[in-house]
Amino acid sequence: MTILGKFLSAEVLEHDFKYSASGVYTNVQADEMDLAAIKQKAFYLPTVDSPEIFGMHDNADIAFQLQESVALIDIVLGVQPRTASGGGARNPDMIVDELSDKILAMLPEPLTREGGNKELFTHQASGLLHSLTTFLL
Cα–Cα distance, 45 to 113 (Å, whole number): 21
For residue 80, the model assigns a pLDDT of 67
Annotated domain spans of the chain: 1-56, 58-106, 108-137
- Give a three-class secondary structure readout of 50-116: CHHHHCCCCHHHHHHHHHHHHHHHHHHHHCCCCCCCCCCCCCHHHHHHHHHHHHHHHCCCCCCCCCC
As beta bridge partners, residue 26 has 18
For the segment 120-134, the average pLDDT, to the nearest whole number, is: 82
To the nearest 10°, report the CA torsion of 105, 107, 112, 114: 110
51 Cβ neighbours under 8 A, 6+ residues apart: 57, 58, 60, 61
Q: What is the pLDDT of residues 15-60, one digit of tens each?
A: 778 887 777 888 777 676 788 888 888 888 888 777 877 777 778 8
pLDDT band for position 129 (50/70/90)? confident
Q: Is the pLDDT of residue 83 over 70?
A: no
